Amino acid sequence: MRDDAELTTRSWSPSETEFPNDARRDMAGGDENPPRREFKARGSFVERCDGCRLPVLNCLCPFRVTATSAAHVWLLTHPYEHNKPTNTGRLIADVLPQTQTFTWYRTAPEARLLELLADRRYVPYVVFPDDQPDYQHRVVDERAVVVAKQDGFIPVFILIDGTWRQARRIFRKSPYLENLPVLPLHTDRLTRYRLRKPASASHLCTAEVAAELLRNTGDVSAANVLDDYFDAFNESYAASRFYHKIEKPNAAMQRLLERRAFGAAFS
Ligand SMILES: [Zn+2]
């Protein structure tokens, strides 16, 4: 994925990582077809929880909480991403129940997505780096999101969930995204994601991108909860790879447990 790395900006790439078969699949034009068999990868022999799909050794379910946010998230997920247990887009949907998840198909967008894009209650933004000249006229910053809220609209972050190569393709080849404003994320945050190896530490995974956008646009509580849930996921999954059972919840896990015990009033 060397060519991908060259295209990324200092602040963010939608790539959670590189998946070794992507290039071959892209060349084969296989994007339109969802995978026909269950995803097999390192650790696929491990017993997984039906609820969270993590290895049962450190199941995430006890830490699952919800939060509310003024801004919504719609995930536009590459078909290959759905079956990956290391996918973090699904963490957003766990924490923010109003999240919508769509599977991306180049030739046939989901009808529900088109309906929502036409719904005037929402102001959707495609979250994507602003490093290419041909769509600069569409680029906005986070102030636009705040203004949309003040005007009584529901801002929506459309997050393209896939590798960088997939995300670039989705961004370029989806006519229904062509007229939407483009919202780049500029942040100094370095990724804490430990389950896939990014080309650069500045490449945040999907859940981290959502948390940063929420935080930067005023949904601080939701951002903090999502970050805690992401950290719990990250730590639980990483420990399981070494067959290590987490005996003592870390600080993020503790906060999630308290939130579960005391409800959303605690944040
Ligand atoms: Zn579980």
> What residues form DSSP beta bridges with 101?
75
**29: phi > 0 → left, psi -120 to 50 → alpha, else beta; which?**
left
3 state SS for the chain = CHHHHHHCCCCCCCECCCCCCHHHHHHCCHHHCCCCCCCCCCCCCCCECCCCCCEHHHCCHHHCCCCCCCCEEEEEECCCCCCCCCCCHHHHHHHCCCCEEEECCCCCCCHHHHHHHHCCCEEEEEECCCCCHHHHHHECCHHHHHHHHHCCCEEEEEEEEECHHHHHHHHHCCHHHCCCCEECCCCCCCCCCCCCCCCCCCCCCHHHHHHHHHHHCCCHHHHHHHHHHHHHHHHHHHHHHCCCCCCCCCHHHHHHHHHHHHCCCCC
pLDDT digits (tens, 9 = 90+) for 184-219: 999 999 999 999 888 889 899 999 999 999 999 999
| 131 CA to centre of own chain | 20
Q: How far is the CA of 225 from the centre of ligand 1 (A)?
A: 18
What is the Å distance from ligand 1's center to 107 Cα?
A: 35
Q: What is the radius of gyration, based on Cα positions, of the chain?
A: 18
C-alpha of residue 62 to centroid of ligand 1, in Å: 7
Task: Say what the pTM is.
Answer: 0.84
For residue 132, the model assigns a pLDDT of 92
Q: Please report which confidence band the pLDDT of residue 108 belongs to, taking 50, 70 and 90 as the band edges.
A: confident
* Distance between Cα 245 and ligand 1 center (Å): 14
Which two structure tokens, joined as six digits, stand for 115? 């309906």
C-alpha of residue 53 to centroid of ligand 1, in Å: 6
Residues with CB under 5 A from ligand 1 (ion): 49, 51-52, 59, 61
Which residues on adjacent β-strands are paired with residue 158?
74, 126
Residues 6+ apart with CB under 8 A from 101: 74, 75, 77, 89, 90, 93
Q: Do residues 87 and 124 touch, judged by C-beta distance below 8 A?
A: no
Confidence of residue 226 (pLDDT cuts 50, 70, 90): very high
CA 102–ligand 1 middle distance (angstroms) = 23
Between the CA of 238 and the centroid of ligand 1 the distance, in Å, is: 15
What pLDDT, in 10s, does the model give residues 77-100? 999 988 899 999 999 999 999 999
User: In angstroms, what is the span from residue 63 Cα to ligand 1's centroid?
Assistant: 9
Locate 71 and state its tokens.
């801004």
Least confident of 30-34, 37-41, 109-113, 227-231: 30-34
What is the whole-number distance in angstroms between the Cα of residue 219 and the centre of ligand 1?
A: 27
Do you know the residue count of the chain?
267
Query: How much distance in Å is there from the Cα of 140 to the middle of ligand 1?
Result: 38
pLDDT of residue 245: 95
Compute the distance from residue 56 Cα to the ligand 1 centre, in Å.
7
Cα 64 to middle of ligand 1, angstroms: 9
> 54 alpha carbon to ligand 1 midpoint, in Å?
6
